[in-house]
Structure 1
Amino acid sequence: MPAHIVYDYASLGSVIRYFDSTPKPPERFRKKLAAWKSRNGVGRLVKKEPPRERPTYSSPACFTLHEGDFGQDGIVVISVRRTYSVESDLHFEIAERPAIGSVRVLQSLGDSPELLHLAANKEAAERWLASNRYSRAYLEEVSADEVGADVIEGRAAA
């Protein structure tokens, strides 16, 4: 599916797979493999930004995928996130949607909320929030209505 479908229909916390439909090169071609990996992967949808119109420029809507955290002993050194425009030439698919009853920990910055953490339940979300202080964080439960609307409107995970 094209990128704008992810922006329009995927909910925060969904796992999104992106790919360019090219075959994976053999391991011995390290540079080609690195280039292929930059255009083929999986991430969790953490933010959607609306289009922006400014006097000097305009930008299309975009979304950000969190691909992983790197570090050790519970200390995150690098957090890998990639932002894609709705005009991206890559193909996207919704691999997994947040489960009913899971709780999003969101932070409100600017025009749209950002997903900080996806917890299995409200207690787990509150524990995470207590150990990770954010000034504008709030909780949002994934409801059966949200998941049901996805199924009724034909947005089931691909």
Structure 2
Amino acid sequence: MSAHIIYESAPLGSVIRYSDGAAKPPSRFTKKLAGWESRNGFGRLVKKEPPRTRTTYSSPAYFTLHEGDFGQGGIIVVSVRRTWSVESDLQFEIVERPRIGMVRVLQALGDSPELLHLAENSEAAERWLAGNSYGRAYLEEVSADEVGAAVIEGRTAA
């Protein structure tokens, strides 16, 4: 599916796979493999930003995937995120949606919220939030209505 469909239909916390459709090159071709890996992968949807129009420029809507954290001893040194415009030529697929009862820890920044953490339940979300202080964080439970609407509208994970 297109990037625009992901922006419109995937809820925050979904795992999204992206691909350019090319076959993975053999590992001995390190430069080709690095190029392929930059256009093929997966991540958790953490932010969706609407289109912006200003007097001097305009930008299309975009979304951000969190691909992973790197560090040692519980300390995150680098957090890898990739952002795509809804005009991207890549193909996207919703691999997994948040389940009913999961709780999103969100932070209000700008025009749209950002996913900080996806917890299995409200107790786990409260524990995570107690250990990670964010001034504008709030909790949002994944409801049966949200999941049911996705099924009715044909937006279930492939």
Q: Distance in 1 between matches of 2:18 and 2:2?
A: 10
What RMSD over aligned residues (CA atoms) do the two structures have, in Å? 0.3
**1:119 equivalent in structure 2:** 119
**1:65 equivalent in structure 2:** 65
Partner amino acid, structure 1, of 2:17: R
**1:141 equivalent in structure 2:** 141
- Which consecutive residues of structure 1, in runs of 5 or more, have no partner in the other structure? none
How does 1:7-26 map onto structure 2 within 5 Å? 7-26=7-26
How far is the alpha carbon of 1:82 from its aligned partner? Answer: 0.3
Could you tell me the percent identity over the aligned residues? 79
- Which consecutive residues of structure 2, in runs of 5 or more, have no partner in the other structure? none
Deviations 1:64-88 (A, max 9, x none): 0000000010000000000000000
Q: Distance in 1 between matches of 2:152 and 2:124?
A: 30
SS at match of 2:32: helix
Matched, 1:28 2:28: yes
How far is the alpha carbon of 1:54 from its aligned partner? Answer: 0.8
Deviations 1:20-50 (A, max 9, x none): 0000000000000000000000000000000
Partner amino acid, structure 1, of 2:138: Y
TM, length-normalised to structure 2 = 1.00
TM, length-normalised to structure 1 = 1.00
**2:74 equivalent in structure 1:** 74
How far is the alpha carbon of 1:156 from its aligned partner? Answer: 0.6
How far is the alpha carbon of 1:2 from its aligned partner? Answer: 0.4
How far is the alpha carbon of 1:18 from its aligned partner? Answer: 0.2
